[in-house]
Amino acid sequence: MNVDRRAIIIGGSLSGLFTGVLLRSIGWQVDIYERSPHTLSSRGGGVVLQPDVVEAFAIAGISYQNLGVDAKERYYLQRDGSIQAMPMRQTLTSWNLLYNSLRRHFPDEHYHQGKRLTNLQQHDGQVTAIFADGTQATGDLLVGADGLSSTVRQILLPTYDPMYAGYVAYRGLVDERELDPETAAIMTERFVFYQFRNSHILQYVIPGKNESLVLGERRFNWVWYVNYDETTELPRILTDKNGKQRNYSIPPGMMANDLEREMRDYAQKVLVEPFQKLIAATEEPFVQAILDLGVPNMVFKRIALVGDAAFIPRPHTAASVSKAAANAIALADTLVDCDHNVLDALKTWELDQLALGMHLWKRGRDLGETSQFIYGKKRWKE
């Protein structure tokens, strides 16, 4: 099926790929433009697999039978060493597995890397993207899927930027065979939590290197939320080991030595033993600031904002990736329903997607405020 319509997608990560494969599934010509000249790598390790992601894969014709690792229950570890168990089946996957599955399904000749957007123009029923290298791309629809630092959003809504939420997420990955058997037995096939004053940490097993789901080749993925003051502490947290100030995150292997040592020492003071051992076994922890963002509009004539370019739900919702999939599913469905009339479709699409984004944004904020600030802004035992 070919409907003689062309979409330009700015951003080649998960949101852009979801949108790209689903628009192709309804007959559109699609080109993706990614600012990075390099192959994208994991932006955070683990992802809770939600129904919208599975639905997007099914619609696009991508196999979804082996997308992750199943957890059969939740464990809530207690300070006294006891465990509260709760039956709850979930499938846990990795950013890399989802990205690679989508990327393999999108044609290389239409995925353009090293394309930094500098401006947008709308004219004569079309929209044009202008890039730093002097090239341009014109289509019937442009989708801003370029994430939390979205250039598309900065052009259209220059006063809307992500806001620091008051805490960060330390994260890490540990190969299954690198964790001692006693701790691994607690962590395997479970979503494990430890909650304490103004903080909590969680872990689950995800696919390993090369997307392996084989027992012994997978990874333990952990996330630990810790409060830091925006003015007096955050700049130090976001300065890497080479002294470079980062905007929102420090990737694996780049955390400053003093900060990594401080984080490990703090873990020994406040965490229960299984999580102490998990962090001790982590070779290259990383850190990201927790952010809030919600836009008042997602549609600007022939331009749409999707994924984290529009709304950043805090990670407690486990909804960032699924929201990107939901945005893409709804966009493709609405274009078909409106006989591929872009202006009519985007008006209809925006109503529900704004409501979804606002709901998840508020829900994530409520969850975060409860877990991190119910006893004030300070870190416990400091």
DSSP 309-375: GTEE--GGG--HHHHHHHHHHHHHHHHHHTTT-HHHHHHHHHHHHHHHHHHHHHHHHHHHHHHHHTT
| DSSP secondary structure, 215-272, as one string | TTS-EEEEEEEEE--TTTTHHHHTBBTTSPBPSSEE-TT-B-HHHHHHHHHHHHHHS-
Q: What is the pLDDT along the chain (382 residues), one digit of tens a residue?
A: 667 899 999 999 999 999 999 999 999 999 999 999 988 765 558 999 999 999 999 999 998 888 999 999 999 999 999 999 999 999 999 999 999 999 999 999 999 999 999 999 999 999 999 999 999 999 999 999 999 999 999 999 999 999 999 999 999 999 999 999 999 999 999 999 999 999 999 999 999 988 899 999 999 999 999 999 999 999 999 999 999 999 999 999 999 999 999 999 999 999 999 999 999 999 999 999 999 999 999 999 999 999 999 999 999 999 999 999 999 999 999 999 999 999 999 999 999 999 999 999 999 999 999 999 988 888 887 5
* pLDDT single digits (tens) 229-284: 999 999 999 999 999 999 999 999 999 999 999 999 999 999 999 999 999 999 99
What does the block give as tokens for 71? 């957890």
Calpha distance 150→185 (Å, rounded): 41
The DSSP secondary-structure symbol of 280 reads H
Predicted TM-score of the model (pTM): 0.95
Domains of the chain: 6-47+96-162+292-370 (3.50.50.60), 69-95+164-291 (3.30.9.60)
Which of 363, 367, 364, 319 is closest to 15 using CA atoms?
319
The DSSP secondary-structure symbol of 45 reads S
Calpha distance 315→68 (Å, rounded): 19
Cβ atoms 101, 16 nearer than 8 A: no
